[in-house]
Amino acid sequence: MERRPLTTSPFRFGNRFDSLKDTLKSYRLDLSFFPPRNDVSFYWAIDAHSTNYLRLFKINFNSEWSLTHKGLRKSLALLIPMKGQFEVEIGNQAFVVEPEQLLLVPTRAPCRIRFLCDEKEHSLIAIDFSRTIVEKVAQEATDSPESCDLSHGGVVDETKGIGITLIMTIRSLIAGLGEHGTFHHKPTTLKLLSESILHLLYECMAQQPGVNREERSQDATPRHLKAAVGYIQDNLHRSLTVSEIATSVGISIRALQASFQRHLHTTPLRYLRQVRLEQAHRELSSPANRLPIGEVAHKWGFNHLGRFSSHYRALYGESPSTTVKRAQRSSETALAPEFDTPSPQPRQPSIEAAE
């Protein structure tokens, strides 16, 4: 008979940053916390599951904040953004982690992570593996010809290669602990699945040689950035990913992100969204436009009308419908003289004058 591991699944929430900090500290996480600029309307929620092999956290909040750790941990942690982004600083390197990417937190270097919201919301998955299972898998991985060092951290693309298998395995873990609760009664299955995730991490990082050695972010040149911008401009109507953009110009994801941050002070996906919004704004502002707002949004790569409207308002200070109405009024004003004011007629000479 299997021995059931120690498990807990408390759901906690609050409306102050201090209460979030106290809750995270109660899990004995060796972290330093930096609050948002104004936490008056701050709210958060955590669904946590602790087992003998790992701890799983599903965290939601509505304002940006930061944390740091000293980099002296002997376990491994994964952070997966579901909505929003991470701005990460490791040593003198800085990069952004976005949805469809996974961050392996470094264990031997100080790390600072800033959590950025999307539409005043951020949600993430955090997995903290126990030291025992990490050491076991590390020993097994050492015997592999593709062994690599995970202590420096790194970023995994969830949409390519082994990354696809990795994220599917993680989703099974999340469902088994949280949604279905199956693994609370199956410790052996939970142990094997936890080990599988770590083995997949080793395989993913082994395929990214630039991540674990000298970081390849310096490999990006202005030529690469110009090519990436051109690729984005040519494919605004398509569903682009950071991985696809990086591959198109022949550099790593982190190199691409670092180049955008260094030269354009933004991320590739934010730049993509900015350009799409500019094109949509130009079209909606045209008196000649006859397409509905939804069709214009879809034409320029926005598949969610509500999010399009939110981003549009944040950039232009008005809703798309307001822009359309102003364009229509402009069109009506331009046409008004043609119908309402008769054209001046040349004066006809009188009969008397003619005579």
Alpha-carbon distance of 48 to 136, in angstroms, equals 24
Give bridge partners of residue 90 from the DSSP assignment. 93, 111
Cβ contacts of 175 within 8 Å, gap of 6 or more: 182
Q: Cα 257–269–40 angle (5° rounding)?
A: 100
pLDDT of 303 > 60? The answer is yes
What integer pLDDT is reported at residue 4 of this predicted model? 41
Q: What share of the chain is helix, strand, coil (3-state, %, to 5)?
A: 45, 20, 35
What integer pLDDT is reported at residue 255 of this predicted model? 81
E strand segments, the chain: 11-14, 32-34, 44-50, 54-61, 65-69, 76-83, 85-90, 93-97, 101-105, 111-116, 122-129, 154-157
Paired tokens of 83 = 């909505």
pLDDT of 285 > 50? The answer is yes
- Residue 33's pLDDT band, with cuts at 50, 70 and 90, is confident
Mean pLDDT of all residues belonging to the chain:
80
The domains of the chain, with CATH numbers, are 11-213 (2.60.120.10), 217-337 (1.10.10.60)
Residue located via tokens 């950025």: 116
- Residue 256's pLDDT band, with cuts at 50, 70 and 90, is confident
- What pTM value is reported for the model? 0.62
